[in-house]
Amino acid sequence: MVWYRKAKRPGDRGDVVTVPNGRPLRVGVVGYGLGGSTFHVPLVSATPGLELAAIATSNAERVAKAKSHYPGVKLYDTIDAMLAAEQLDLVVVSTPHATHAPNARAALAKGAHVVVDKPFATSSAEARDLAAAAKEAGRLAIPFQNRRWDNEVLTLQKLMREGTLGDIHRFESRYERWRPVPKARWTEAGAEERGEGVLGDLTVHLVDQALLLFGPARRVYAEFERRHPDIHVVDDVFIAITHKSGVISHLFTSPNVGILGPRLTVLGSKGAYVKHGIDPQEEALLAGGTPGSPGWGEEPESAWGKVGAGDDVRPLRSEPGDYLEFYRGVAAAIRNGTEPPVTTAQGIAMMELLDAARLSAREGRVIELGA
């Protein structure tokens, strides 16, 4: 159930310029921290039809790392220097949250399509402005949501297609960790205004997955907390979504959980699906694995979830995770004009829900989002 496939908002497609077959699409990646070095650069490099042409980073240690791993790729200190020197078909923005939209607009102005790491923007208003800029430029602004291709999400979608769970009525989804030492940037003054904290990080994935699976929200209720005494951001999030489809989603994000709960608990009229543990692709990428190599995205039987009801509960093999599918879809959208794997309308919808969650947490009430 992908409710927003046919939505038409600024920047969805418009009169988007496509690239003819015959040459690879030249890609520049802005930012070479965890997102750029672990996710985007390896995924771009492994995607047929994409050519990693340039990386922009000003950090000396990261420059050395990039030169070592990708000796044929040009390095630049800034996005402006990269855009001035290179003719790029696609720019991937993986910089601090508050710079996502400004960097994306700069790339659009130079004629490149953009992939924007999460969060797509820091507010729904900024997301709509970015979509308008993409439409004006005749280019795509594509939110990066790789965790649509986590194994547990793909497995749940398969169960939904097959009707195994019946009518789903409750969806519980968690990204929980035990990290008692907070990220250094969370302790800096102004961090919340810059979009830092778990709300603009892992919570974005949970919200996107819930909307993808069960459709638009009718109402939202949220509770935000700051558990660690040294931080200036929210580090404990609960969001309850009542979807127009009738499903209720409960989403939890926190680095303060000593014993982790299930990654997913999905309850339906015919049974349930419960899955512990995180998709193995991030760990494989951190270890230097090659996306798409034999066995990629597979996990051992000991990590499988369970499906069933009452006395009839059995292990269920997880579908292999496949982050490469995102960039395959990006390449097809740019070259052939097909729909992007994630649309700007979906990015806007996700930011609208997060804005409603902020209001709910601030005022302590349910926010109605329309009939």
Do the Cβ atoms of 357 and 344 come closer than 8 Å? no
Specify whether 44 is located in the same domain as 65.
yes
Specify whether 174 is located in the same domain as 316.
yes
Instruction: Note whether residue 191 is domain-resident.
Output: yes
Specify whether 64 is located in the same domain as 125.
yes
pLDDT in tens, 146-188: 999 999 999 999 999 999 999 999 999 999 999 888 888 888 8
What is the reported pLDDT for 190? 81
Mean pLDDT, rounded, of the chain: 92
Specify whether 65 is located in the same domain as 186.
no
Specify whether 121 is located in the same domain as 164.
no
Q: Say yes or no to pLDDT of 194 above 90.
A: no
How many whole angstroms separate alpha carbon 92 and alpha carbon 40? 8
Q: Could you tell me the sign of the dihedral formed by the alpha carbons of 96, 341, 45, 334, in that order? A: negative
How many whole angstroms separate alpha carbon 115 and alpha carbon 288? 22
φ and ψ at residue 350, rounded to 5 degrees: -65, -45
Q: Say yes or no to pLDDT of 90 above 90.
A: yes
What is the reported pLDDT for 10? 36
Q: Say yes or no to pLDDT of 13 above 70.
A: no
Instruction: Note whether residue 59 is domain-resident.
Output: yes
% of the chain at pLDDT higher than 90:
85
Range of the domain at 212: 147-324+354-368
The whole-number average pLDDT for the span 331-344 is 96
Specify whether 239 is located in the same domain as 316.
yes
Specify whether 34 is located in the same domain as 109.
yes
Tally of domains within the chain: 2
Question: How would residue 9 be classed by pLDDT, with cut points 50, 70 and 90?
Answer: very low
How many whole angstroms separate alpha carbon 341 and alpha carbon 161? 19
Do the Cβ atoms of 134 and 106 come closer than 8 Å? no
Q: How many CB atoms lie within 10 A of CB 189?
A: 7
What is the reported pLDDT for 16? 67
Q: Say yes or no to pLDDT of 7 above 80.
A: no
| Higher per-residue confidence, 284 vs 3 | 284
Specify whether 109 is located in the same domain as 214.
no
Question: How would residue 243 be classed by pLDDT, with cut points 50, 70 and 90?
Answer: very high
Tokens of 138: 């005749």
φ and ψ at residue 313, rounded to 5 degrees: -125, 135
Specify whether 136 is located in the same domain as 156.
no
Instruction: Note whether residue 10 is domain-resident.
Output: no
Instruction: Note whether residue 131 is domain-resident.
Output: yes
The whole-number average pLDDT for the span 346-365 is 96
Task: Give the CATH number, domain containing residue 32.
Answer: 3.40.50.720
What is the reported pLDDT for 191? 79
Do the Cβ atoms of 264 and 156 come closer than 8 Å? yes
Instruction: Note whether residue 15 is domain-resident.
Output: no
Specify whether 135 is located in the same domain as 158.
no
What is the reported pLDDT for 5? 32
Q: How many CB atoms lie within 10 A of CB 276?
A: 16
